[in-house]
A and B are shown apart, each in its own frame.
Chain A
């Protein structure tokens, strides 16, 4: 069953007087429980594509379906609610909240997004912190963690809400090779254990090999699968 479906999606930007077509007539169909990589050079449109799938941005034309819902016509509020219920995000710069501890960062979406009662939160947080191997670091602040550790926390934060789909934009770009592989391995393991769909973008050919399905973007066009 399709989890993500894009039909004739185009995204244009107007930068000053310059008109840029970031995505051109994208047709995409990603099944549930798959581990997908989107590859391409910088500026090829990877982040734009992930933003459209993640309801963070809207296409200029075409339709985007996620989990059977047309998300391209969402209002800001509807998009936020949909993201909170169905999607998880992992960012290139980890984007942990610096004033919160590891535990609190993972707890944040459960409190502020899903309104999970305190009693149920702890069990879930500890489960995911253990799954990403960060239980010993739960009281540390992001500034006290290494890059790999921060991304593990980000993985736990993305998964703690039990999303259908996790979108990771260049999750290994700021990590060394060994750590990058560990993070990809962790994501893969989570995908297998939790049956969650992962879509990640990268321009690292070695990392790409870890994906089950690879889409290649070039100059805003999908050129291969």
Chain B
């Protein structure tokens, strides 16, 4: 019964960890692969005023060159990067006007840095490397619905450039795009050359670089490395020119990811409580039921320390066997979930496969926790047994 409880606890943790961690990874993957990239570089101070989409904090040609030099040194870890100009504008269908946030991109670079962005775009995209062409605009689907716009319709973008003058540009709607973080999304896409025309930008100028890493697990290491390298670039006031952020710094989903981690820890605490109470209960019962046997082995000369060891070994064995069985069943359950090919949708991204996995380190940590708690909870009953006086124990019927 105790073994069964421990096994259930271990299986519960493994399955929950496997599914939730995989789900979390997929969600993070969706956000980084279709919107943010793994890392982003801006001019220092940009992110603190990102809601205003300032244009006076653009990275100029010299800055772009400096960044390219850094990226070239790390082609082994950086898979792709995309230059962006983010700006706010007014969108008019000639009848109504509303505000819109736009990300101007070079589509090939953007597709390489955020390969799942095209999955959010409605309609058929023949060539993902050309998902936005010059003279076209992709508008958020809720704005399209509100303004009754469809592919092929003409719209006008009106925006201030960084000097304050107002400019306009006529574009055609190519597609609509789903807002990733909910219905209030007002993010559209235009070609970077159109943005330069609209904003009267001469030469190369951007305000955001999205970076895709080859190995997202190396995010923190790469963040530290790049931050260190970027810190060498200083302006005339000896202040850093660039700032670097991870996707987690920029996305509210990082809070959800933290909640998932907290849930996993909570489940582990529940498991610990199950193991502690189960082992304590069974070992107390074991001592109580074996008082006469304890008296016998004590009378024939077993040292108190050996009696302690015998009961500790029993608790330890119980934990080891239960943990091994729990691990096997837990991993099999994850395999079964994978074999069952469970799919779900996340916004416009359909048929996302729930691919569960659990890191060996997670299995080891769960096993070590269970074994440690089992040993701790065996200690009190084992001490009780070892301190029993044989004369009292032998009298016990």
* B391 & A56 in contact (Cβ 8 Å cutoff): yes
* A109 & B301 in contact (Cβ 8 Å cutoff): yes
Q: How large is the interface on B (under 10, 10 to 19, 20 to 34, 35 or more residues)?
A: 10 to 19
- Specify which chain A residues have a CB less than 8 angstroms from the CB of B389 in the assembled complex: 76
- Specify which chain B residues have a CB less than 8 angstroms from the CB of A87 in the assembled complex: 301
Contact with B along A69-83 (1 / 0, CB 8 A): 000000011001111
Q: Whose C-beta in chain A lies nearest to the C-beta of B386?
A: A76
* B301 & A83 in contact (Cβ 8 Å cutoff): yes
Q: What is the distance, in angstroms, from B19's C-beta to the closest C-beta of chain A?
A: 41
At the interface with chain B, which of A36-44, A89-97, A118-126, A203-211?
Answer: A89-97
At the interface with chain A, which of B302-310, B334-342, B363-371?
Answer: B302-310
- Specify which chain A residues have a CB less than 8 angstroms from the CB of B305 in the assembled complex: 77
Q: What is the distance, in angstroms, from B185's C-beta to the closest C-beta of chain A?
A: 68
Q: Whose C-beta in chain A lies nearest to the C-beta of B397?
A: A93
* A97 & B297 in contact (Cβ 8 Å cutoff): yes
* A80 & B303 in contact (Cβ 8 Å cutoff): yes
* A95 & B296 in contact (Cβ 8 Å cutoff): yes
Verify if B292 is at the interface (C-beta below 8 Å from A).
yes
* B391 & A95 in contact (Cβ 8 Å cutoff): no
CA distance A87 to B303 in the complex (A): 14
Contact residues, B353-397 vs A (CB, 8 A): 389-391, 394
CA distance A109 to B391 in the complex (A): 19
Residue in B296, B297, B301 whose Cβ sees the most chain A Cβ within 10 Å: B301
Verify if A57 is at the interface (C-beta below 8 Å from B).
yes
Verify if B298 is at the interface (C-beta below 8 Å from A).
yes
CA distance A98 to B296 in the complex (A): 12
Cross-chain contact of A112 among B292, B293, B297 (Cβ < 8 A)? B297
Q: What is the distance, in angstroms, from B392's C-beta to the closest C-beta of chain A?
A: 9
Residue in A81, A89, A157 whose Cβ sees the most chain B Cβ within 10 Å: A89
Q: What is the distance, in angstroms, from B288's C-beta to the closest C-beta of chain A?
A: 16
* B306 & A112 in contact (Cβ 8 Å cutoff): yes
- Specify which chain B residues have a CB less than 8 angstroms from the CB of A114 in the assembled complex: 301
Cross-chain contact of B304 among A76, A88, A91, A157 (Cβ < 8 A)? A76
Interface residues of B (CB under 8 A from A): 292-293, 295-306, 389-391, 394
8 contacts between A and B (CB under 8 A): A56-B390, A76-B389, A83-B300, A91-B299, A95-B293, A98-B293, A112-B297, A113-B300
